[in-house]
Structure 1
């Protein structure tokens, strides 16, 4: 198993992978429609998207947590 100190990185890896998969799929289908070669094109777009999304999530997540903590009132 992965040590707990790596949890934010693992979370970012999984979240960015799933979100980039969904968004690249929707974008690919909208751009080229349903047809032959769609899945191969989608996977290519997904891998390129994930290479950007993963580091972006690692950078943006701490900033987002700070913003949320300012917007949400403590109980």
Structure 2
């Protein structure tokens, strides 16, 4: 990645929260969908519906919680 295409460091916390929300939401919705429905013919559709439904909760939560957790970790570590 060239320097011109990088995101400014001041957005690192926001980017961290965004990527965490997207990846955790994807993984968690997959697991819960498998538990609830099993691997069946319409699994992919059901999984994507569950993922889309989880994002309105997961994204703002991750964006709010990430700086708090970072602050706690910073105080707990040297």
Structure 2 gap segments, 5+ residues each: none
C-alpha RMSD of the superposition: 1.4
Match of 1:10 among 8, 11, 15: 15
> What residue number does 1:28 align with?
33
Structure 1 gap segments, 5+ residues each: none
* TM-score of the pair, normalised by structure 2: 0.81
* TM-score of the pair, normalised by structure 1: 0.83
Query: Equivalents in 1 of 2:11, 2:71: separation in Å?
Result: 20
1:1-75 counterparts in 2 under 5 A?
1=5, 2-72=7-77, 74=78
